[in-house]
């Protein structure tokens, strides 16, 4: 013991970093047994107690050659960061990597383990290629996680796309990687949950991914197993080895990836042609108009004068005008303020104030403010 301690102190003084012993891992299963292959159709062995499958699914619409600049307004995660003179920072659409996890718990925490990971990549003209990794038991987690990290490494600085992944999936992944001594991958992250809420919060009963897929995109999720059942299903599989329900969760997970790809395509279309796509996707026109204006002011004002910025600003003004003419009171108020104080058009300011007053039923505070505004404007006239 004394000799070991003396040697250790000597290494520390000399600046030598002691090497950690690599944890012993179970040997990887060389191939799936014939009887197991029938039980896991389409799956292959990817590591110790880790399976993999890969396949393609159709999307709701064709994949564009490039993302529109306006997508960075609707989904600010796509906004330029390295190059502050560009609206969008994605570059090639090949950088997109859709990601979703199924876990042993729905609230996170150090004890929550991911047992199913799915990745999606666009396959033009209209498909998404899905890769899934399935963990069959706890001892296989290191191999399972190394497969996941390898998927990220396959794309140079991938742009991960998720639905509530910033709050949940990415946190679970990071925790499990650190607990297994694996370096987390580098990536950019675009979370579609908040943009979806801005578009459909006032139009749908909730903004869950499945609700948007069914109610807005018209996708079929009938017979789908609820993701909330995933923890119980995996633990049940560990107890009795029956994999029927587990395969159903894998199918649910695959539908989530395909649906995520379809939701982003819808957002691209809304961002690129917001006026023409309103009827198709039934989004909240007032909410989008106000958000569009605020994002341009807060994130992209330094690009004022840029051709792309000016085009987006014109679109924002058009969205506000159409929303106000359709009787949206908050949009009308925004235009009234702009007309009174910026363009000094008192007649226009009074007209938009009256539109807002005619459509603000049940908004008591707003009505009081608008009555004061109308009195002031009439006095100016």
Residues 350-372: tens digit of each pLDDT: 999 999 999 988 777 888 899 99
Round the average pLDDT of the chain to a whole number and report it: 89
Cα gap 79→86, rounded to integer Å: 8
CA distance 260 to 210: 10
Q: Of the ranges 54-63, 76-85, 162-171, which one carries the lowest mean pLDDT score?
A: 76-85
Query: Is a pLDDT exceeding 50 seen at residue 198?
Result: yes
| CATH of region 34-272 | 3.30.420.10
- Residue in 288, 263, 268 with CA at minimum distance from that of residue 68: 268
pLDDT of the residue at 107: 73
Query: Residue 12: pLDDT above 80?
Result: no
- pLDDT (tens digit per residue) in 116-126: 999 999 999 99
Tokens found for residue 28: 């990887």
The owner of tokens 């009505």 is 367
For 256-308, the pLDDT digits (tens) are: 999 999 999 999 999 999 999 999 999 999 999 999 999 998 888 888 888 88
Residue tagged 């296989």 (tokens): 140
CA separation for the pair 291, 73 (Å, rounded): 9
Instruction: Report helix, strand or coil for 125.
Output: coil
Torsion angle (degrees, nearest 10) of CA 349, 355, 357, 360: -130
Instruction: Identify the three-state secondary structure at position 156.
Output: coil
Domain extent listing, the chain: 34-272, 284-380
Give residue for tokens 């570059």.
91
25 DSSP assignment: -
DSSP 242-284: --HHHHHHHHHHHHHHHHHHHHHHHHHHHHHSTTTTHHHHT--
Distance between terminal CA atoms of the chain? Answer: 95
């Amino acid at each position: 013991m004394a000799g070991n301690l003396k040697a250790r102190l000597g290494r520390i003084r000399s600046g030598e970093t002691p090497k950690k012993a690599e944890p012993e891992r179970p040997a990887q299963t060389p191939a799936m047994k014939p009887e197991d292959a029938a039980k896991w159709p389409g799956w292959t062995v990817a590591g110790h107690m880790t399976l993999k499958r890969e396949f393609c699914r159709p999307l709701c619409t064709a994949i564009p050659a490039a993302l529109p600049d306006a997508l960075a307004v609707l989904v600010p995660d796509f906004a330029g960061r390295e190059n502050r003179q560009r609206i969008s920072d994605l570059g090639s659409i090949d950088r997109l990597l859709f990601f979703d996890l199924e876990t042993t718990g729905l609230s996170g925490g150090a004890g929550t383990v991911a047992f199913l990971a799915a990745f999606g990549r666009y396959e033009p003209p209209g498909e998404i290629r899905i890769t899934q990794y399935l963990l069959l038991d706890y001892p296989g987690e290191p191999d399972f996680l190394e497969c996941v990290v390898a998927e990220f490494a396959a794309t140079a600085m991938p742009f991960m796309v998720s639905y509530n992944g910033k709050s949940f999936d990415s946190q679970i992944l990071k925790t499990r990687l650190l607990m297994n001594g694996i370096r987390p991958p580098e990536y950019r992250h675009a979370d579609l949950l908040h943009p979806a809420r801005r578009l459909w919060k006032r139009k749908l009963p909730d903004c869950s991914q499945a609700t948007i897929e069914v109610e807005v995109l018209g996708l079929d999720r009938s017979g789908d197993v609820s993701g909330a059942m995933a923890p119980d299903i995996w633990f049940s599989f560990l107890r009795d080895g029956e994999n029927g329900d587990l395969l159903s969760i894998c199918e649910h997970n695959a539908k989530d990836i395909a649906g995520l790809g379809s939701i982003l395509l819808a957002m691209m279309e809304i961002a690129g042609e917001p006026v023409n796509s309103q009827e198709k996707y039934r989004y909240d026109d007032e909410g989008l108009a106000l958000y569009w204006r605020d994002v341009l002011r807060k994130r992209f004002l330094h690009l004022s004068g840029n051709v792309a910025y000016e085009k987006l600003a014109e679109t924002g003004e058009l969205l506000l005008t159409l929303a106000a003419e359709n009787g949206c009171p908050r949009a009308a108020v925004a235009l009234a303020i702009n007309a009174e104080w910026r363009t000094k058009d008192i007649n226009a300011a009074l007209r938009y104030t009256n539109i807002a007053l005619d459509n603000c039923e049940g908004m008591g505070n707003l009505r009081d403010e608008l009555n004061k505004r109308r009195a002031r404007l009439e006095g100016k006239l």
